[in-house]
Every structure is written in structure tokens, then in C-alpha cells.
Amino acid sequence: MKSFIEVSADSHFPIQNLPFGVFSIAEDEISSARVGVAIGDQILDLIVISKLFEKHVPELGNPALVFSQSSLNMFMSLGKPVWQATRKFLQVILSEDNPELRDNKELRNQAFIPQKLAKMHLPANIGHYTDFYASKEHATNCGIMLRGSSALFPNWIHLPVGYHGRASSVVVSGTDLLRPRGQRSPGKDQPPVFGPSIKLDFELEMAFFVGTGNNLGEPIPIQKAEDHIFGMDPTPFPYLQEEGKTAYDIHLEAKMKPSNNDTHKTLTRSNLKYMYWSIKQQLAHHTISGCNMRTGDLCGTGTISGPSEDARGSLLEITWNGKNEIDFGNGVKRLFVEDGDEVVLTGYCQGEGYKVGFGECSGKILPAISS
């Protein structure tokens, strides 16, 4: 499979991938956020080709409406058969031997926007964000460091533990973040102190969006979980599946660029396949009580650590709770994230001669506010 759009071998976005996103034109104040698909270093603007969708993917109903939204929620709410038909059509219309878009010079000029000119937005209106704790290696490491025991809590092997995060605080890649402040305990039997976080960390995770939800009181059975997970689409993604049903072989990597440094250093390499609890198990467990999930809900895997020391997914584990410094050269060392440091997370699957990737997600830490 090959597109008439040139895609370099190391790109995360060949025709085999085609991830959906929401973008606007960075320098154009009146350009509104809308739905596009990444291919190579370009974005295909789906509004511009809405007439083609009307002709080839009637299931979309009103494609100009669906793709002019500033989130993927309307598209996601249409359900898996529509996601599949849309993706399949995009692969057809972008393939090198299909003349319909390739040879329509005017349409083609309008339809592709260089990624470097685009501003990316959060792809979904996220209602809820749940973060699981699905890596056994990570849970074990935390137990040893924080509770002095390598034994997991008894319930850990019976259910995917999750906690409920703030969807409002999820930001798009490239957003600077202020160091948070709060109360912490300086030691047992001592009163708490107030101030900026002193052990600021990152966690190398993946996440999925709920595409279609369920009604309150009606759990999603694990056999149907993948129909509800947006983007988990075995037909066009056979390359993603490695061993067993849900162990995706996705290489994950975290890099850090300390304040005033010029280059990033890779801190860890992990893999989604190390997860103990699969994303289908996470969704089935999340809803078993009757909890209703909604389009746009986000579920994180929790930190994914692998079996070896160089596959640990957080600074807590990498520095073993501040015991082992990371050396960035030129005297720059780190135990946790300091002000001005930038963290970059990335992930991809390796196909034969191409990558199916997730791009990069970066964030820089600014000092805590002082007032």
C-alpha cells in the first residue's frame, strides 16, 4: 500500500496509519478548528473533500458537518462501521493508483496543508479521564519503593485498578505546564508543609478514547469492548497485533531535555505489550458496576514499565525515588523534573519498511506561581 503523497520511511504517518486529529491554520486567526488526517508531513483537510465522502461514504450522513466540528466526538459517536468505512475510503482515495484526488489539481491544492503550518488541538471533547495502573512491573516497583514490599495489593491481580483524573487538565502537546503546589508531609508525625511539588515526574503511558458509550446500568461485555474503543480497528491495522489478542507491540520512548540543554536524551524504552491488564479488560471492568461511558471519555493505561531496568516508565522508577542520578553530561544531572525541563513521549509500531506511529507529545515545566 502506497500513497501518491510522498512519505519518508521514518514518518509516523504513512497510508497504513492515517490518524484523525483536529487542527487549524496556525497563522490564520479566523481558521477554525476542524477534522483532518495526517499523512506524511501533510494534513488532509476532510471538509475540503466532503463531496467525495458524500459520494463514497453515505453512512457519514452530513460529512461537512461531522468534519467541521472542533472535536472528533460527533464522528466517534457514529460508531465503528462508520469509522471503518471512512478509514477504508481514505486509504483508497490516497493510494497512488487512484486518480480521483491525485489528478484533481485544484481539489488537491486545497485539501493538503503542511503540518508545519498547522496548529493541533485536543482531538476530543473529553468528558471523563480514567487512569489505570495496568503494568505489573510498575506496580511492583512502586510497592518496593513506597511501601517497602514487592507484594502487590491483594486486589491488584483481580481487577485493573484505576483512578479518576481531571479531564479538564488534559492539554495538547506543546503546552507549557506550571509546577503544581500543594500540601505534603515532611515525615511521619510532622505537620504538613505547603509549597511547590519537589518530586515532579512524568509517566510513560498510552490511552484510548471511548468512541461509543453505554447506558447507565448496562455494562460493556469484554467481547464487545473493541467495538466501543475508537481507533482499535483490526481490519486496517493488522500490523499492530503481535502476540495474543490484545498485546499490541508498540515501542514507547521517553526523552528529556534539561533546561538550557540543546538536546534530548532518551531515558527509557518500554512497550505497550508489557501491560498486564489489556485495554479491553480495562473498559469491561470500568463498566461492570453499571458505570456509563460516553463518547470522548479517555482511559489511560498508567505507567508502562517493562521487565528490565532500562524499560522503566517514570523518573520515580528510573532514579529509584531519587537515589540514582541521571547524567546528561556537562555536569547536568537530574533526579526529578526541574523547572525549564522538557519531556517528550513517543510511540510507534514497526511495519515492513514503514512505521505506524503516534507522533510526539511534549511538555515543558515552568516554575510554580509564587503568590
Could you give the residue numbers annotated as active site?
Answer: 138
Q: Is 182 in the site for a second copy (CB under 8 A)?
A: yes
Among 169, 173, 308, 350, binds a second copy (CB under 8 A): 169
| 191 counts as binding a second copy under rule CB under 8 A | yes
- Does position 186 bind a second copy by CB under 8 A? no
Which residues from 117-136 bind a second copy, rule CB under 8 A? 127-128
Q: In 3D, which of 36, 177, 48 has the Cα closest to residue 119?
A: 36
149 binds a second copy (CB under 8 A): no
With respect to a second copy, which residue has the nearer C-beta, 58 or 217? Answer: 217
Q: Where on the phi/psi map is residue 248: left (φ > 0), alpha (ψ -120 to 50), or beta?
A: beta
Contact 313, 305 (CB under 8 A): yes
Interaction between residue 174 and a second copy (CB under 8 A): no
Q: Nearest approach, Cβ of 293 to a second copy (angstroms)?
A: 7
User: Binding string, 245-284, against a second copy, x = CB under 8 A?
Assistant: ----------------------------------------
The dihedral through the CA atoms of 212, 215, 216, 218 has a sign that is: negative
Figure out which of the listed residues 61, 288, 324, 327 binds a second copy, where binding follows CB under 8 A.
288
Q: Judged by CB under 8 A, which of 6, 100, 218, 309 binds a second copy?
A: 218
Q: DSSP alpha helices (H): ranges in the chain?
A: 50-56, 63-67, 73-77, 80-93, 99-102, 105-111, 136-142, 225-228, 279-287, 315-318
What DSSP character marks residue 210? B
Strand order in the sheet with 34-39: 112-114, 42-45, 34-39, 20-25, 118-121
Give dist(CA 326, CA 319) in Å, integer: 7
Shortest distance, position 241 Cβ to a second copy, whole Å: 29
Number of residues that bind a second copy (CB under 8 A): 38
Q: Is 350 helix (H, G, I), strand (E, B) or coil?
A: strand
Task: Give which of 259, 255, 147, 132 is closest to 202, Cα–Cα.
Answer: 255
Query: Among residues 9, 10, 30, 216, which is the contact residue for a second copy, using CB under 8 A?
Result: 216
Instruction: Give yes or no for residue 291 binding a second copy (CB under 8 A).
Output: yes
Q: Which of 106, 158, 186, 262 binds a second copy (CB under 8 A)?
A: 158
CB 16 within 8 A of CB 354: yes
Query: Binding a second copy by CB under 8 A: which of 292, 321, 338, 361?
Result: 292
Q: Which of 55, 159, 238, 350 binds a second copy (CB under 8 A)?
A: 159
Q: Which residue has the cell 479521564?
A: 129
> Do the Cβ atoms of 203 and 302 come closer than 8 Å?
yes
Binding site for a second copy (CB under 8 A): 127-128, 154-155, 158-159, 163-169, 171, 177-178, 180-183, 185, 189, 191-192, 213, 216-219, 288-294, 297, 369
